[in-house]
Structure 1
Amino acid sequence: MSTDRIDKILAHEGFGTRKDVRKYFRASKVLVNGQVITDPGFHCDIDKDEISVEGEILNIEKNIYLMMNKPQNTVCANKDGLHQTVFDLLEEQYRIGFALENLHLIGRLDIDTEGLLIFTTDGKLTHRLISPKTNCPKKYFVRLENSIDENLKNEYEKKLAAGIRIPAEDNEDEADCLPAKIEFTSSDDEVYLTIVEGKYHQVKRMFRALGNKVIFLKRVSINELKLDENLSAGSYRKMSPEEVALLG
Structure 2
Amino acid sequence: MAVIMMRLDKFLVEMGAGSRSEVKKQISKGLVLVNGIVVRKPEMKIQEQEDVVMFSGKEYRYEAFVYYMLHKPAGVISATEDRKDKTVLDLIPDKKRPDIFPVGRLDKDTEGLLLLTNDGQLAHRLLSPKKHVDKTYEARISGIVTEEDIREFRTGLDIGDEKPTLPANLEILYTDPTKTESYVSIVIREGRFHQIKRMFEAVGKEVLYLKRIRMGSLVLDTKLLKGESRELTPEEVKMLINETGGEHAKENA
Question: d(CA) in 2 for partners of 1:41 and 1:242?
Answer: 36
- The answer to whether structure 1 residue 120 and structure 2 residue 122 are counterparts is no
Question: d(CA) in 2 for partners of 1:19 and 1:79?
Answer: 21
Verify the 8 A CA contact 1:139 1:222 in the aligned structure 2.
Answer: yes
**1:116 Cα deviation (Å)?**
0.5
TM-score (norm: length of structure 1)? 0.84
The residue identity in structure 1 corresponding to 2:117 is T
Question: d(CA) in 1 for partners of 2:239 and 2:175?
Answer: 29
2:136 is aligned to 139
> Which 10-residue stretch deviates more, 158-167 or 49-58?
49-58
**1:187 Cα deviation (Å)?**
4.0
**1:32 Cα deviation (Å)?**
2.7
Question: d(CA) in 1 for partners of 2:35 and 2:87?
Answer: 41
The residue identity in structure 2 corresponding to 1:230 is K
2:251 is aligned to none
The residue identity in structure 1 corresponding to 2:52 is E
Question: d(CA) in 1 for partners of 2:78 and 2:85?
Answer: 10
Verify the 8 A CA contact 2:8 2:42 in the aligned structure 1.
Answer: yes
Question: d(CA) in 1 for partners of 2:215 and 2:85?
Answer: 26
2:245 is aligned to none
> Which 10-residue stretch deviates more, 178-187 or 49-58?
49-58
- The answer to whether structure 1 residue 52 and structure 2 residue 54 are counterparts is yes
> Which 10-residue stretch deviates more, 212-221 or 43-52?
43-52
Question: d(CA) in 2 for partners of 1:198 and 1:182?
Answer: 16
2:104 is aligned to 107
Verify the 8 A CA contact 2:197 2:206 in the aligned structure 1.
Answer: yes
Give the ranges of 4+ consecutive aligned residues of structure 1 lying more than 6 Å apart after TM superposition: none
> Which 10-residue stretch deviates more, 73-82 or 53-62?
53-62
1:243 is aligned to 236
Pick the aligned partner of 1:76 from 75, 78, 93.
78
1:213 is aligned to 206
Pick the aligned partner of 2:164 from 166, 173, 176.
176
Is there any run of 5+ residues in structure 2 with no aligned partner, and where? 177-181, 242-253
**1:54 Cα deviation (Å)?**
4.4
Deviations 1:46-78 (A, max 9, x none): 322222234543244322211111111221123
1:170 is aligned to none
C-alpha RMSD over aligned residues: 2.2
1:28 is aligned to 30
Deviations 1:165-208 (A, max 9, x none): 113xxxxx464111111223244611111111111100011111
**1:246 Cα deviation (Å)?**
3.1
2:226 is aligned to 233
The residue identity in structure 2 corresponding to 1:132 is P
Is there any run of 5+ residues in structure 1 with no aligned partner, and where? 168-172
Verify the 8 A CA contact 2:66 2:97 in the aligned structure 1.
Answer: no
The residue identity in structure 2 corresponding to 1:212 is K
The residue identity in structure 1 corresponding to 2:214 is S
- The answer to whether structure 1 residue 37 and structure 2 residue 32 are counterparts is no
TM-score (norm: length of structure 2)? 0.83
1:194 is aligned to 187
Pick the aligned partner of 1:158 from 151, 155, 171.
151
1:4 is aligned to 6
- Identical residues among aligned pairs (%): 38
The residue identity in structure 2 corresponding to 1:118 is L
1:63 is aligned to 65
1:129 is aligned to 126
- Tell me, what secondary structure is at the counterpart of 1:21? helix
Aligned length: 234
Question: d(CA) in 2 for partners of 1:127 and 1:3?
Answer: 28
